[in-house]
Amino acid sequence: MTDIPLLIAGLGNPGESYARHRHNVGFMAAEAIAERHRFAPWRPRYRGLIAEGALSGRRTLLLKPMTYLNDSGGSVGDAARYLKLPLDSVVVLHDELDLVPGKLRMKTGGSDAGHNGLRSITASLGADYRRVRIGIGHPGAPAVLSYVLHNFSKADKEWLAPLLDAIAEAAPLLARNDDAGFMNRVALLTRPPKPPKPKPAENGHGV
């Protein structure tokens, strides 16, 4: 196991009024990982809140930037530079409009696709960090801002809780740099149950 720590940054906006917004799903995912793997309590550092623990035996720091989402790069950049991390040891959890609700994908590098939190991190660190893209769906161009800055709906909660649980369960694979394995594990854990097979029709002879 590498001696290089892993930094997992969940993106969102600080404050109770933002806590259940779609834009804050990165915070929610980080909190789920911290709870599942019994990380230390959150404390202020790097212009954010951090919780320390271990995943797969690797020292891991969870970070929730308190700089507001659009300026996430200040906090994530501070942490990554202080810890002297290569970019493949930085994982960012964020909402993704271009994925249907409840779907998850991982990628390394690439564009920010209009996500201001990613744009800020890329400006601070460069683009080649790892991203966990958590699908929230797209409402159509005119409604994007009100959509992301609004609470998840009641219907969303049916997929949101199982997805956060799956992210937390699969998180140790991130510490092993097994991004494909992480995606596959989350997909398996969130797969809808198969419908029961219909009972064979009786043939009229009691068989």
Helical packing angle, 179-189 and 157-170, nearest 10°: 140
Give 90's contacts (C-beta < 8 A, 6+ positions apart). 7, 9, 76, 80, 125, 129, 130
Share of the chain residues as helix, strand and coil, in percent rounded to the nearest 5: 40, 20, 40
Active site residue 94: no
Give 78's contacts (C-beta < 8 A, 6+ positions apart). 46, 47
Catalytic residue among 21, 23, 37, 115: 23
Query: 62 has which bridge partners?
Result: 8, 51
How far is the C-alpha of 87 from the C-alpha of 108, rounded, in Å?
Answer: 9
8 A C-beta contact, residue 82 and residue 125: no
Give 62's contacts (C-beta < 8 A, 6+ positions apart). 8, 9, 10, 30, 33, 34, 39, 50, 51, 52, 53
Give the residue numbers marked as catalytic: 23
